[in-house]
């Protein structure tokens, strides 16, 4: 395979005192891929992701994101990625337009670009009536779709999604995944953590993390074959059953 590698980690580790939150994580993610990062609660997914997006310093190990080093070039990494956190983190006391404006501006989009993008986005999400309403007044599903759209507003190389569909109804989840496909189709690499095993099936490749260690990494079809399982749910249960950590 001679596809472009956009995320490359080598024995990336994060320790908090004696506790090893993420242990020697090694994997590669290719351009335009949808990479599912699975694991039970407390398995270390968020910790690993925070190292990748440059807001948490690794204890040791190497990692390159979009060609930049996670130790020394965190600010360059930040220019090239989008991030949507587990916690909804748009400004609820700003309107949809104001949020788009703010994040467009922060990522250095020109006034004209912001305006075009903003109009496109409002049409795409069907939010004409709500465009000047406070984000806080929107239903959760809409908020999540909006947050994702804003995370890829500046056309990053990679977008990191931390449990983006938590608490969202199945229809909205389906729509959300349509948006993810579209982004991947446009060449944005998608790195997504999730609990939902049906969502894992949508990914090109998935890794399954148990107690801070990556236990399996392959395409969903291969994993099912390897573990002789009928579904990803089954694969996950077999791997995660032995977990010590969790809530």
Partner 1 sequence: MRTLLFLLRKEFLQIFRNKLILRMIFALPLIQLILLPYAATYEMKNITLSVVDHDHSEYSRKLINKFTTSGYFQLTDYSETYDQALDQVEKDVADLIIEIPQGFERDLIRESETKIVIAANAISGQTAGLAVAYSNLIIKDFNNDVRAEWLPQSRFNTIPVIEITGSNWFNSQMNYKKFIVPGVLALLVTLVGYLMSSLNIVKEKEVGTIEQLNVSPIKKYHFILSKLIPFWVLGLIVMSIGFVISFIVYGIYPEGSFWIGYLFAGVYLVALLGFGLLTSIYAETQQQAMFIAYFFMLVFILLGGLFSPTENMPDWARYLTYINPVSYLIEVMRMLVLKGSSFWALRYHFLIITGFAVVFNGLAIWNYKKTV
Q: Cα separation of 150 and 129, whole Å?
A: 18
Query: Mask of contacts with partner 1, 94-113, x by CB under 8 A?
Result: x---x--xxx-xxxx-----
Is 56 a binder of partner 1 (CB under 8 A)?
A: yes
Exposure string over 185-202, b if 16+ CB within 10 A, otherwise e: eeebbbbbbbebbebbeb
- Window of 22-30, 58-66, 81-89, 217-225 that interacts with partner 1 by CB under 8 A: 81-89
Q: Cα separation of 148 and 83, whole Å?
A: 8
Report in angstroms how near the CB of residue 35 gets to partner 1 at its nearest: 18
Is 187 a binder of partner 1 (CB under 8 A)?
A: no
Q: Cα separation of 42 and 213, whole Å?
A: 11
Which of 89, 137, 186, 226 lies at the binding interface for partner 1 (CB under 8 A)? 89
Report in angstroms how near the CB of residue 95 gets to partner 1 at its nearest: 9
Is 48 a binder of partner 1 (CB under 8 A)?
A: no
- Window of 82-90, 115-123, 138-146, 210-218 that interacts with partner 1 by CB under 8 A: 82-90
Q: Which residues, 6 or more positions from 225, have their beta carbon under 8 angstroms from its beta carbon? A: none
Whether residue 200 contacts residue 236, with contact meaning beta carbons closer than 8 Å, is answered with yes
Is 118 a binder of partner 1 (CB under 8 A)?
A: no
CA atoms within 13 A on the CB side of 156: 29
Is 85 a binder of partner 1 (CB under 8 A)?
A: yes
Give me 31's structure tokens: 């351009």
CA 27 to the chain's CA centroid: 15
Using CB under 8 A, list all residues that contact partner 1: 50, 53-57, 74-75, 78-79, 81, 83, 85, 87-94, 98, 101-103, 105-108
């Amino acid at each position: 395979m001679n596809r472009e590698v956009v995320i490359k980690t080598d024995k990336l580790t994060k320790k908090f005192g004696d506790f090893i939150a993420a242990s020697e994580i090694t994997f590669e993610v290719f351009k335009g891929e949808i990479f599912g990062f699975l694991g039970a609660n407390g398995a270390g997914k968020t910790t690993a992701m925070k190292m990748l997006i440059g807001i948490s310093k690794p204890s040791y190990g190497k990692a390159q994101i979009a060609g930049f080093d996670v130790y020394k070039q965190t600010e360059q990494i930040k220019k090239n990625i989008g991030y949507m956190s587990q916690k909804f983190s748009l400004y609820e006391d700003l309107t949809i337009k104001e949020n788009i404006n703010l994040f467009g501006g922060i990522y250095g989009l020109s006034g004209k670009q912001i305006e075009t993008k903003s109009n496109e986005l409002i049409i795409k999400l069907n939010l004409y009536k709500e465009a000047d309403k406070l984000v806080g007044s929107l239903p959760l599903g809409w908020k999540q779709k909006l947050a994702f759209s804003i995370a890829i507003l500046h056309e990053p190389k990679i977008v990191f999604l931390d449990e983006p569909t938590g608490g969202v109804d199945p229809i909205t989840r389906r729509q959300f995944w349509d948006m993810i496909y579209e982004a991947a189709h446009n060449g944005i690499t998608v790195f997504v953590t999730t609990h939902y095993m049906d969502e894992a099936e949508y990914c090109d490749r998935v890794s399954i993390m148990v107690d801070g260690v990556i236990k399996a990494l392959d395409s969903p079809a291969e994993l099912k074959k390897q573990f002789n399982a009928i579904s990803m749910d089954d694969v996950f249960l077999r791997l995660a059953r032995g977990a010590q950590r969790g809530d």
